[in-house]
Amino acid sequence: MSVSGGQSVAEFLSSRPLVTLTFAQSLDGKIAGKEGKQLILSGKESMLMTHWMRTKHDAILVGIGTALNDDPQLNSRHIPEDERPSHLPRPVILDANLRLRPDCKLLKNYRERKGRRPWVICDADLTSNDIGRKSTLEDAGARVIGVPSVDGFIMIPDLLKVLYNLGIKTLMVEGGATIIGSFLAEPARTEPNAIIDTLIITIAPTLVGNDGIGYGEKLSATQIPSLKHIRTEVMGQDVVIVSALE
């Protein structure tokens, strides 16, 4: 079976980063509030764990929905300064249509030398309208990288190979909802699972309700990857479950 570009699964596995998919959810499986309102679901202990994990990865990936909605910094600022490793992960934003705002915190932090240069992954086939937005983002500090897309969705296997060839050996994927769905659904097309190595979910003791945003609604039963439980930890009021994908 081939994954992308005619590669076998074995060849693909040796040419993509190790991938950790991680996010926080409520007891009723929501990762954001009504209309995507950002919710701080993690308590301070599990938030600290997330910031430590960031320092263990070469890059942190979020989708453009999260970048626009939350304006994240994707750094390790919750770790006390005297304990904070000097390594800063590379921010990567999946943004097929180059909708990222040039004044977002990720670009501002880079310009102020407080963060690494963000990589913006867009559709490899840019239209002439997109070229102007590309220049604007590059002027603001972004490195814009084209990767093939289908229906506006960047192809995850191609993305992983591009990142690996650019030196990213470990990738932490933090969301949001659509990105989580894409990474979880991908294994069904690349049997055996070839996309995610580790899934780390923080479960917070809170309910959000029907208005909230979940991530599993579009996963069909045949797409659900099989998980091998590795560890469960209680962190403050949260439960953190670590699984490997088989």
Ligand X SMILES: NC(=O)c1ccc[n+]([C@@H]2O[C@H](COP(=O)([O-])OP(=O)(O)OC[C@H]3O[C@@H](n4cnc5c(N)ncnc54)[C@H](OP(=O)(O)O)[C@@H]3O)[C@@H](O)[C@H]2O)c1
The C-alpha atoms of residue 176 and residue 210 are separated, in whole angstroms, by 17
The interface with ligand X within residues 96-115 (CB under 6 A) comprises 96-97, 99
Contacts of 196 (CB under 8 A, 6+ apart): 19, 20, 21, 173, 183, 184, 186, 187, 225, 245
Nearer to ligand X, 97 or 170 (CB): 97
**By CB under 6 A, is residue 173 in contact with ligand X?**
no
Min CB(30)–ligand X separation in Å? 8
Which range of residues in 79-87, 129-137, 177-185, 220-228 is near ligand X by CB under 6 A? 177-185
* Burial group, residue 152, by CB count within 10 angstroms (0-12, 13-18, 19+): exposed
Q: Which of 62, 104, 120, 172 binds ligand X (CB under 6 A)?
A: 62
Q: With contacts defined by CB under 6 A, name the span among 107-115, 131-139, 151-159, 221-229 that binds ligand X.
A: 151-159
Options 46, 47, 70, 91; binder of ligand X; rule CB under 6 A: 70
Q: Identify which of residues 10 and 150 has a Cβ nearer to ligand X in the complex.
A: 150
The CA-based angle 69-70-71, given to 5 degrees, is: 100
The H or E element spanning position 119 is strand 119-123
Of 174, 142, 166, the residue nearest 76 (C-alpha): 174
Cβ at position 156, least distance to ligand X in Å: 6
Q: Please identify, using beta-carbon distances, which residue of 3 and 213 lies nearer to ligand X.
A: 213
Residue 22 CB, nearest approach to ligand X (Å) = 7
Residue 119: how many other CB atoms lie within 10 Å: 20
Q: Smaller CB distance to ligand X: residue 141 or 148?
A: 148
53, 74, 82, 183 from 78: Cα distances, Å: 12, 11, 11, 27
DSSP state of 8: B
Q: Which range of residues in 12-20, 66-74, 81-89, 134-142 is near ligand X by CB under 6 A?
A: 66-74
C-beta of residue 9 within 8 angstroms of C-beta of residue 194: yes
Cα 102 to Cα 178: distance, rounded to the nearest angstrom: 22
Provide the minimum distance between the beta carbon of 244 and ligand X in the complex, in angstroms, as a whole number: 20
Task: Give me the least distance between CB of 86 and ligand X, in Å please.
Answer: 25
Binding site for ligand X (CB under 6 A): 23-24, 31-32, 36, 38, 41, 62-66, 69-70, 94, 96-97, 99, 152-154, 156, 174-179, 182, 213
